[in-house]
Amino acid sequence: MTVLAERPRTARAPLAPVAAAPRRRVSPERVAAALTLVALLVASVVALRSVDIDPARMLQSWTNAERFFTRVGAVEFPPLGELLQLTALTLGLVISGTVLAAVLSVPVAVLAASNTTPGPAWRAAARFVTVLARAVPDVVLAMVFVLLFTLGALPGILAIGLHSVGMIAKLFADAIEQVDEGPRTAVRAAGGTRLQQFTAGVLPQVLPSWVATVLHRNDINLRGSVILGYVGVVGLGREMSFAFKSLDYGLGLGYAVVIFVLCVVMEIVSSSVRAAMLGIAPTGRGLGDRVVRRAARRRADRAAQESPVAPATDRAPAPRGSAAAAAPTVAAMARRPWDRTRVRDVTWGWAAVAVVVLGVVVCDIAWSDLVTVWSGVPAVAVQFWPPSFGSYETSVMVAAMGETVAIALAATLLTLVASVVVGSFAARNVAPTRGVRSGSRLLLVGIRGVPEVILAIVLIVVTGLGTQAGTLALALGGIGLLGKLLADSFEEVSAGPERALAATGASRLQVWAGATLPQGTRALVGHTFYMLDTNIRAATLLGIVGAGGIGYHLLNASQGSNYGAVTGIVLMILVTVLVVEGLAMWMRRVFR
């Protein structure tokens, strides 16, 4: 030791010049992708400046907020009976729409999955359907259906049903592609038909993940139902829009509170169902998941204390004691015993059926509309064609679309910066203390609980109509999602490099920058593009509630019965969304 200690620290001797190391070859595609990323970043900064969010203004709007809340007075609620009826209607509409989407998604998913598709052409067509369904916002669909049908729940159900196919069918297909092919081969080897191979070999494997997908989508659709109200779909959202339009802020906020509570309750319910039916611990997406996970853990602990699990043995169980001495006979086993699993499965199954039936009944659907609507289609369809921008200059519309894209870019940038900070503190391997981690996670969960639309509406009420409100609403709402995704990605990185850096004496920040972030970069790029993708759609929708951009013109055109303009605007949105989607797919491929 002493010898070592006495040895003087050698100054870094100049190393022999290294013969030019072979340069790493960079593919032109990677260069192009990197340049695109930089361009997007610059565009986001420019967009952020153009949206003109400055602290002074925000401080001023804070005094606005105080004034606003004194003016609102108390938050009001509608009479209880009416409230319950509206709540039931909203839930019924959302559930019916989601179930419709799930049913439609099954054939699309089977055609889109590489292992069940009859051919590449079918697969391409099915994938295109999912992309298209995702690209057309449900609000746009709702506008069209509101024109086609007499008022009622049907436009909302169909809009939710068709739009949700985009996400549900894609996730269904992903689940099919991940199954173990073995059981299916076994059915094939036993002489089963293709359909039997699917129902006996594939379906039982994908069912749990399918149920989880549908429940997750149902949560999303409940949030989205608020904005459907703004285009005339019945339910809580429409009543809230009426209240705000008649400047009855107290009542409007009352509805907003009800919707917020409903969203949280729904998340708790769907988490419980997922946990109970699938027997898996939810990995956490929101407030509900946390509550359920904690309860489940406590239950598991108790069960572990009560009965130490007997290991499975290969031998047929030897008769234990005289009571169990008689081996069961085929006749005795003919009826499936009502054990806990069966009782649970049957209860949940019938509960699910009851909920769906109730949901459909409560919507009071005018089924005759489905028949009579076809006679109206040609007349309405003619009005939608050709696309035009009506009395507006094309340049005005393009500028409005640009404004929407700017809102999305600016919001994504703000979200990204905030999420990297909050997400890092929420990651177990980065947070300095457990308290910091729990606090950050709680913050993310709290943000997730508030539907963006409500955030936007409140911000609009506070700061006035304009792009700032929309940008802030998207940016804040996005932190809940992106922060969580980043925190999870950071926690998933391999711990080895982090330990290695820490062992060399690197500081906490250096470990984060040198080991955690580089390993999480790929996920970061992927998640950020997902965020941008979502934000473009959301920015359109927020325009409808008054947050600026193309959505405002869309609502105007639809309410002014200027259907040619609706078509023109929808096509413009569609092209933009598809471009971003294509960009995101390219990035995911290049930075794999």
315 or 434, CB closer to another protein? 315
In the window 185-214, what residues touch another protein (CB under 8 A)? 185-193, 195-196, 198-201, 203-205, 207-208
- Which one of 131-139, 309-317, 352-360, 438-446 is the stretch in contact with another protein (CB under 8 A)? 309-317
316 or 371, CB closer to another protein? 316
Q: ∠ at Cα 14 (10, 15), nearest 5°?
A: 110
- Which one of 38-46, 86-94, 327-335, 478-486 is the stretch in contact with another protein (CB under 8 A)? 327-335
At closest approach, how far in Å is the CB of 315 from another protein?
A: 9
At closest approach, how far in Å is the CB of 305 from another protein?
A: 21
Compose the 458-497 pattern: x for residues touching another protein by CB under 8 A, - for all others.
----------------------------------------
Regarding 317 and contact with another protein (CB under 8 A), the answer is yes
Q: Judging by beta carbons within 10 Å of its beta carbon (0-12, 13-18, 19+), is residue 174 exposed, middle or buried?
A: middle
- Give phi and psi for 464, each to the nearest 5: 90, 165
Distance CA 545, CA 548 (A): 8
Regarding 107 and contact with another protein (CB under 8 A), the answer is no
Which of 165, 41, 17, 39 minimizes the C-alpha distance to 100?
A: 165
Residue type, position 438, single letter = S
Regarding 307 and contact with another protein (CB under 8 A), the answer is no
Number of Cβ within a 10 Å radius of residue 3? 6
At closest approach, how far in Å is the CB of 190 from another protein?
A: 5
At closest approach, how far in Å is the CB of 365 from another protein?
A: 28
Distance CA 231, CA 375 (A): 23
State both tokens at 270: 């769907």
Q: Judging by beta carbons within 10 Å of its beta carbon (0-12, 13-18, 19+), is residue 578 exposed, middle or buried?
A: middle
Which of 360, 365, 357, 359 minimizes the C-alpha distance to 151?
A: 365
Which of 201, 99, 224, 196 minimizes the C-alpha distance to 542?
A: 224
At closest approach, how far in Å is the CB of 182 from another protein?
A: 4
Regarding 312 and contact with another protein (CB under 8 A), the answer is yes
327: CB partners within 8 A, 6+ apart:
319
Work out which of 80, 333, 371, 379 binds another protein, going by CB under 8 A.
Answer: 333
Work out which of 182, 376, 464, 582 binds another protein, going by CB under 8 A.
Answer: 182
Handedness of CA 96, 99, 488, 526 (dihedral sign): negative
Q: How many residues bind another protein (CB under 8 A)?
A: 39
In the window 422-451, what residues touch another protein (CB under 8 A)? none
Work out which of 4, 80, 327, 379 binds another protein, going by CB under 8 A.
Answer: 327
- Which helix (H) or strand (E) covers residue 398, if one does? helix 394-425
Regarding 178 and contact with another protein (CB under 8 A), the answer is no
At closest approach, how far in Å is the CB of 293 from another protein?
A: 22
- Which one of 85-93, 183-191, 373-381, 383-391 is the stretch in contact with another protein (CB under 8 A)? 183-191
Work out which of 316, 379, 503, 509 binds another protein, going by CB under 8 A.
Answer: 316
CA 334 to chain centre: 45
Distance CA 172, CA 139 (A): 24
At closest approach, how far in Å is the CB of 328 from another protein?
A: 5
At closest approach, how far in Å is the CB of 86 from another protein?
A: 37
At closest approach, how far in Å is the CB of 318 from another protein?
A: 12
At closest approach, how far in Å is the CB of 537 from another protein?
A: 35
Regarding 344 and contact with another protein (CB under 8 A), the answer is no
- Which helix (H) or strand (E) covers residue 584, if one does? helix 563-590
276 or 366, CB closer to another protein? 276
- Which one of 169-177, 285-293, 313-321, 551-559 is the stretch in contact with another protein (CB under 8 A)? 313-321
Q: What share of the chain is helix, strand, coil (3-state, %, to 5)?
A: 75, 0, 25
Number of Cβ within a 10 Å radius of residue 300? 11
State both tokens at 235: 């339910």
Distance CA 520, CA 527 (A): 11
**What DSSP assignment string belongs to 17-79?**
PPP-PPPPP--HHHHHHHHHHHHHHHHHHHHHHHHT--HHHHHHHHHHHHHHHHHH-S-----
At closest approach, how far in Å is the CB of 107 from another protein?
A: 14
121 or 207, CB closer to another protein? 207
At closest approach, how far in Å is the CB of 550 from another protein?
A: 46
- Which one of 239-247, 329-337, 384-392, 570-578 is the stretch in contact with another protein (CB under 8 A)? 329-337
In the window 215-234, what residues touch another protein (CB under 8 A)? none
* DSSP-based three-state secondary structure for 10: coil
Regarding 319 and contact with another protein (CB under 8 A), the answer is no
195 or 509, CB closer to another protein? 195
Regarding 313 and contact with another protein (CB under 8 A), the answer is yes
Contact 539, 469 (CB under 8 A): no
Name the site residues for another protein (rule: CB under 8 A): 180, 182-183, 185-193, 195-196, 198-201, 203-205, 207-208, 312-314, 316-317, 327-330, 333-334, 336-337, 339, 341-342
